Amino acid sequence: MRTKGFIDVPDGYLYYEQSGTGPDVVLLNGGLADVRMWDSTVSWLSDSARVTTWDCRDRGLSSTSAAPYSELDDLAAVMDAAGIDRAVLVGVSDGGRQALAFACHRPERVVRVGAVAGSFGEFPDPSPAEEAARVVMRAHFARQAELLAIDDIPAAAANDIAAWCPAVNESDRRLLIGLAIANSRIMTMTEDNARELDPPVKTRFAEIAVPVSVLVGAQDFEGTQLWAARIADQVPHAELTVLPEADHMPMFSAPAAFRQFLSHALTPNR
């Protein structure tokens, strides 16, 4: 049975869904997606876990934001309202950044983090390879800005999914474009009102005390792959998995391998 509801938070509300019974797993969305991105994962994961998905502000069914707010406080509010003391956090893209930041900030509430294709922006003190990878990504963002400047949100959504998710099939490509269009507010905001951990977690990987399972696809941007390598190198208890066939959304581009990765990450007493 799936429970659905809204949670009041300062200056807004958050939408969440919960399914299944067992150990708690909280799934964190990619930046231009909402809880629907997890439907195929929840369908099998809820057989062995209590799975909670939720929408950040300005996405999905959660409220829009008009002022800065703490994204970590919002995650804590979801866990409190859903009756979750400690959980495995699995985040994709921007959700991976949020999951790692929460683990750094509130380690007593995190069993393990699954950091999938984590996105963190510019590299601090980049290596030559990291700087070269960011040049490629900046070119993509510049093209996105051109499309958004002429208010062509469908074209911007299609361009974004083509770049991040080249390995998905046609049906999933259309789904992901649709999610990006539905959540296009975040593309058009001059500034995201979400406030992250300060200093940001990308400078604090060595402080993360909980175990971290890192996953990245070889079809993703080189920059994402280099961030995954950084996490695996700097987090004290981390393991890295690279899926040759996967891109930025491995639950779509490599579903069987993603299921194997997540099932392994959720194995107790590892």
Whether 176 is in a domain gets the answer no
**Domain total of the chain:** 1
From residue 201, give the alpha-carbon distance in Å to each of 119, 193, 245, 269: 11, 17, 28, 26
Whether 159 is in a domain gets the answer no
Q: What is the pLDDT of residue 223?
A: 98
Q: What is the pLDDT of residue 270?
A: 62
Whether 172 is in a domain gets the answer no
Quote the CA–CA distance of 135 and 59 in Å, as a whole number: 28
Q: Tell me 191's DSSP state.
A: S
- Give me the numbers of helices (H) and strands (E) for the chain, helices first please: 10, 10
Q: What is the pLDDT of residue 140?
A: 98
Please, which residues have CB within 8 angstroms of residue 113's CB and are 6 or more apart in sequence?
88, 89, 90, 91, 96, 99, 100, 103, 208, 210, 211, 212, 213
Whether 251 is in a domain gets the answer yes
Tell me if the pTM is above 0.85.
yes
Q: What is the CATH number of the domain that holds 108?
A: 3.40.50.1820
Whether 118 is in a domain gets the answer yes
Whether 133 is in a domain gets the answer no
Q: What is the pLDDT of residue 268?
A: 75
Whether 86 is in a domain gets the answer yes
Q: What phi and psi, each to the nearest 5 degrees, are found at residue 21?
A: -135, 155
Q: Which of 210, 218, 216, 176 minimizes the C-alpha distance to 99? A: 210
**5 beta partners:** 16
pLDDT tens, position by position, for the chain (270 residues)? 789 999 999 999 999 999 999 999 999 999 999 999 999 999 999 999 999 999 999 999 999 999 999 999 999 999 999 999 999 999 999 999 999 999 999 999 999 999 999 999 999 999 999 999 999 999 999 999 999 999 999 999 999 999 999 999 999 999 999 999 999 999 999 999 999 999 999 999 999 999 999 999 999 999 999 999 999 999 999 999 999 999 999 999 999 999 999 999 998 766
Residue 250's domain spans which residues?
A: 2-125+191-266
